[in-house]
Amino acid sequence: MPSSLPIADPAPEDGLLPAQAAEGATHRDLGVYVHVPFCRVRCGYCDFNTYTATELRGVKQSDYAEQAGAEIAFARGVLERSGLPQREAATVFFGGGTPTLLPPADLARMLGAIRSAWGIADGAEVTTEANPDSVGADDLRRLADAGFTRVSFGMQSAVPRVLATLERTHDPERIPLVVDWARRAGLDVSLDLIYGTPGESLADWRTSLDAAVAAEPDHLSAYALIVEDGTKLARQIRSGEVGRPDDDLEADMYELADELLGAAGYGWYEVSNWSRGEEHRSRHNLGYWLGHDWWGVGPGAHSHIGGVRWWNAKHPAAYAQRLAQGVSPAVGRETLDAGTRRMEMILLRTRIVDGVPTVELPTAARTAVAGLIADELVDAKAALAGSIVLTRKGRLLADAVVRRLTTT
């Protein structure tokens, strides 16, 4: 969740959605994202909407569960008054920030508010992110008892020097410990990695991959480091204090990740995500890529219902104030037209292993497919079967593939 919000139309204070939002809703899942905007320290590379204790300006973390609960109750009313069908939450995802800076009882309370508002479907995926040093074995047991089914640990690297550059505070030797605790609590486990940190070598990256695989998680994510304007890392690079990430090295790192993870039994299902079998794919994130509905709870959180997008006030104080006044915490909204929705569908579905059905492409775009096959960016066998699926080379050049499919 970037720290800057888009420029769009003001969101109505009553939050009501246009009629288009309800069209086809029975065929879309409803997911709920809960943004917990608190961090113990701010990492130098991070551009997310997060706040340390000194940046909260009078807002208390201990009040947050009640505030989030108020938005969830408001959301239920909005969807009902806007003509949306009653749907149980198919997935729930607590992200941040560091959700597990809040006590398990607060996370359980927010999950309970979701259950009261919409219900949670049988077999729903319920995830929380966690830093390895922000939870203990008892915390994980309490989360599992509350209904969480999955935890995603921010591992990032197994190399202390790389973690120091990223300003991550955990000891890499803690990773197998927290994974074991989560397993004993009955939780599925995902590990998040970052590659391309200034000063990180290919050998460093192999060390991190080997350590991640040795922990035997169900799911792994690997994201290339993006240097965001306004971050401490961007300033360090401009001043020459640290080097700029190398695009060619990052490509080598991606290829190494796909090779090692594939050999260890993890199949890619999205450009930056691998899992042990389909049952361990992140169903919540697949909801984003497949264009389903989600309500984003919390400061700066984004929502999407039937081609209508909106986003909340960024600062926790402004967010809390709007809820206290009984109005929507949203401050901006846009309604996507059919052409934009089609372009976004191509952009997002191109990233996943199931690909984009060729019949969903604009007629003119289909003429680009032969060239993409010739350039080894698209799998020829899948294309003949009717889907545009990226090769490994294509995944490295996914943006270029999308441009060719949308500008032909």
Straight-line distance from the first to the last Cα atom of the chain, in angstroms, rounded to the nearest whole number: 31
Domains plus CATH for the chain? 19-289 (3.20.20.70), 337-408 (no CATH)
Task: Give Cα separations from 188 to 16, 92, 138, 197, 268 (angstroms).
Answer: 36, 14, 16, 28, 18
Coil vs helix vs strand at 198:
coil
Burial 140-169 (b: 16+ CB within 10 A, else e): bbbbbebbbbbbbbbbbbbbeebbebbebe
- pLDDT tens for the chain, residues 1 to 408: 444 556 678 999 999 999 999 999 999 999 999 999 999 887 877 888 899 887 888 789 999 999 999 999 999 999 999 999 999 999 999 999 999 999 999 999 999 999 999 999 999 999 999 999 999 999 999 999 999 999 999 999 999 999 999 999 899 999 999 999 999 999 999 999 999 999 999 999 999 999 999 999 999 999 999 877 888 888 888 888 888 888 999 999 999 999 999 999 999 999 999 999 999 999 999 999 999 999 999 999 999 999 999 999 999 999 999 999 999 999 999 999 999 999 999 999 999 999 999 999 988 889 999 999 999 999 999 999 999 999 999 999 999 999 999 985
Cis peptide, bond prior to residue 97, ω within 30 of zero: yes
Beta strands in 232-281 (DSSP E): 267-270, 273-275
Write down the pTM of the prediction: 0.95
- The total of other beta-carbon atoms located within 10 Å of residue 337's CB is 11
The backbone torsions φ and ψ at residue 128, rounded to the nearest 5 degrees and listed phi first, read: -130, 140
Distance CA 193, CA 272 (A): 10
- Is 356 within 8 Å of 388 (Cβ atoms)? yes
pLDDT given for residue 1 in this prediction: 43
pLDDT at position 236 = 86
Planar angle of CA 368, 369, 370, nearest 5 degrees: 95
Q: In what order do the strands lie in the sheet with 273-275?
A: 267-270, 273-275, 219-224, 188-195, 150-156, 120-130, 89-96, 30-36, 293-297, 302-305, 308-312, 330-335
Question: Left, alpha or beta for 83 (phi > 0: left; psi -120 to 50: alpha)?
Answer: left
pLDDT of res. 7: 60
Are 382 and 388 a contacting pair, CB within 8 Å?
yes
Q: In Å, how far are 177, 179, 180, 220, 388 from 214, measured between CA atoms? A: 12, 11, 12, 12, 33
Per-residue pLDDT at 408: 59
**What number of other Cβ atoms are within 10 A of residue 255's Cβ?**
14
